[in-house]
Amino acid sequence: MSEFLDTPELQDKVIVRLVDDDKDFLRSMKLMLEMMGWKVRDFSLAQDFLQEENFKVPGCIVLDMRMPGMTGLELQRQLINDKEKALPIIFLTGHGDVESAVHTLKRGAFDFLQKPVNPLKFNKTIEEACRLSLDNFGASLEKEIFELAAGGKSNKEIASDLDIAVATVKMHRANAFEKMSVHSSIEALHKLNAVKDKDR
């Protein structure tokens, strides 16, 4: 769980994505966040962000509202519909109003901030969003590992399938087995089938 990580440990595991068409603002914001210890990737177009970003790394998205081509709201809508790209979104805009804020938050945005933003408040919001993302990634990975283990795959095979370290597989597998009160792949398969039958 991310609450056990101190801030530098958290920062080592996540990436902050900045998406804003104001290149000067983007440059200064990236510099400020990097000085605070965050790993940052920046994009001036939402389309570039969608094509180039690696969504397998937890973190958050800091998103402008108004941009040429695809707007921040359109990007949010597209990301909502793709669970593999579900990262917490913090809207940071100079064009904010109450109606926009309510709209984005109802659609699942993590927060809505206005430019110029207080650096300390901004840093705290990013940290909270990244902790949530790391926890969500952990839960999703655990579920995936449990299902693969139930299918009879070894730790090494799971690590290869998911492109992660064997040690990571062992940790999540042990956690998942403990939570589900199972001790073997066969028991895991029975538990999984029981859950699926119940959901039908």
Q: Would you state the pLDDT for residue 151?
A: 92
CA distance 136 to 13: 13
- 67 contacts: CB under 8 Å, gap ≥ 6: 19, 20, 21, 45, 46
Q: Would you state the pLDDT for residue 199?
A: 66
CA distance 64 to 22: 9
More confident site: 195 or 104: 104
- Mean pLDDT on 30-40: 96
CB 192 within 8 A of CB 147: yes
Q: Which residues pair with 59 in a beta bridge?
A: 15
**11 band by pLDDT with thresholds 50, 70 and 90:** very high
CA distance 92 to 112: 6
Condensed to tens digits (0 to 9), the pLDDT of residues 76-121 reads 998 888 877 889 999 998 876 778 888 888 889 999 998 889 999 9
Looking at the predicted structure, is the pLDDT value of residue 3 above 70?
Answer: no
| Residue 61: both structure tokens together | 């998205």
CA distance 183 to 158: 17
Q: Would you state the pLDDT for residue 81?
A: 80
Q: Would you state the pLDDT for residue 102?
A: 85
Indicate yes or no: pTM above 0.75. Answer: yes
More confident site: 179 or 126: 126
| Residue 54: both structure tokens together | 């690696």
Condensed to tens digits (0 to 9), the pLDDT of residues 72-84 reads 999 999 888 887 7
More confident site: 63 or 1: 63
* Mean pLDDT of the chain, nearest integer: 90
Q: Would you state the pLDDT for residue 128?
A: 96
Q: Half-sphere exposure of 74 toward its Cβ, with a 13 Å CA cutoff?
A: 11
